[in-house]
Structure 1
Amino acid sequence: MPERNIEFGKYGARGIKGHEAVARRLDDLAGYIATPITAKRGLMARLHYLTRSDHARAAARAAGLTVTDRTIKAWLDGKRLPSKKNLDRIESAYRTVRRHNIARYLVGRLNARGRGTRVEIHPVNQSQVPRPRQRVVEYRTLNVRRWDRIVEAWAAADDQALDDAWADQIIDLGSQWGQYEYVTNIGFAA
């Protein structure tokens, strides 16, 4: 696509890719368990979420939690504690399963029966860029009506697909859409 930034930040601009900001906001909307996994309460909440049904257990196994049912029962009973490696696997499986479970709900809320959701795009921080090299970019809003591909790529944790889906949406900003490939923040609500 034209207008893709090749050397972003070369002159001191600061920001993140737009699709990464969208993924962060979708993660916020997913409502993950706030208690850290290192606390007993956080670990138990995640384990209960991943083992509450046969379907949840199968999804956890598909997401990478490959320990036996006996080990999970020992963790739930407090007889054993998972290793650091297993804590990482539990967290990863929990986030993957949670994303998958909430994706359809988010698509429905964000599409809002065809009305879409207003997205606020905050441009890159150019405070460290020398004056002659600064671009004139401003805060923009955009109404995104089709969230299916964006949420699907987010749920699958596919960065390239999410980047492509987000770029297809920001093209609606007009001829200057490339200026919003990198941003400081993207905000929207569901």
Structure 2
Amino acid sequence: MSTDGWKNFGRYGADGDPGNVHGSIGLARALEDALERMVIEGGIKSPVTTRRGLGARMRYLRTTRGGARALREAGVTATPATVRAWAAGKQTPRPATREAIDTAYWNLRAANVLANSGAFKQHLNRAGRGSRVEIHPVNQQPVDENRRRDNLRVRSFQVRYVWDDAVDALTGGDASKLEEIWDDIIADLDSDYGAYQYVSHIGLGA
């Protein structure tokens, strides 16, 4: 398979697998996955089906800015008095409403975590230690057989100093900046640089 970079991508069939994408796209997806893990790991652990879990979600939604809107957008149309009764444990919402409350909670938490990008940057930077990046090369199955490379393998290494810019690019929807950052990351691969401009998957140890 050609390793001359993105200009030659697909010439020999690598674009036959839709899972083979530019590294900047893979990086954006990996950042989104890491953000989702951060949202979940720092969130309420008790299920919404328990009294404790429901109460915790209701307290968050009632005391956090945007909570009322999140409930409305999730389809909860109860009166303020009923919402207060749920929060106090005096009434119990129906199962479908509990699911909507759960959706409202996670949507609001995700929005607040994303709005506080500093915490996400800190999570990725790890006090200067950075985060481990695992790069899975493109799937070569659709590539012309005589153009495949047998020596492509999963590469894994620690990446530092790019995460502030990467988070800003992700939240700002700056695809060209993500491409620049990906070029910086794979520059450490030296002669294999071109072979990893496109990937099948990127994992982040964060």
Q: TM above 0.5, one fold? A: yes
CA distance in structure 1 between the aligned counterparts of 2:56 and 2:10, rounded to whole angstroms: 43
Paired residue for 2:201? 184
CA distance in structure 2 between the aligned counterparts of 1:43 and 1:130, rounded to whole angstroms: 55
Matched, 1:47 2:35: no
Which runs of 5 or more structure 2 residues have no equivalent in the other structure? Answer: none
Percentage of matched positions with identical amino acids: 24
Superposition RMSD in Å: 3.9
Matched, 1:27 2:29: no
Paired residue for 1:60? 67
Conserved in 2, the CA contact under 8 Å of 1:121 and 1:139?
A: yes
Q: Paired residue for 1:171, among 180, 183, 188?
A: 183
CA distance in structure 2 between the aligned counterparts of 1:184 and 1:143, rounded to whole angstroms: 16
Q: How does 1:109-128 map to 2 (within 5 A)?
A: 109-114=123-128, 116-127=130-141
Relative to total residues, which structure has the larger helix share, 1 or 2? 2
Q: Could you tell me the TM-score, scaled by structure 1's length?
A: 0.64
Conserved in 2, the CA contact under 8 Å of 1:12 and 1:129?
A: no
Deviation at 1:96, TM superposition (A): 1.6
Matched, 1:80 2:96: no
Which protein has the larger Cα radius of gyration, Structure 1 or Structure 2?
Answer: 2
Map Cα deviations across residues 110-152 of structure 1 (whole Å, 9 max, x no partner).
3345553332222234356553454564333352313224334
Map Cα deviations across residues 130-185 of structure 1 (whole Å, 9 max, x no partner).
5345456433335231322433465x5x6x33x44432321111384684444323
CA distance in structure 1 between the aligned counterparts of 2:133 and 2:145, rounded to whole angstroms: 29
CA distance in structure 1 between the aligned counterparts of 2:82 and 2:10, rounded to whole angstroms: 48
Aligned residues: 177
CA distance in structure 1 between the aligned counterparts of 2:46 and 2:139, rounded to whole angstroms: 32
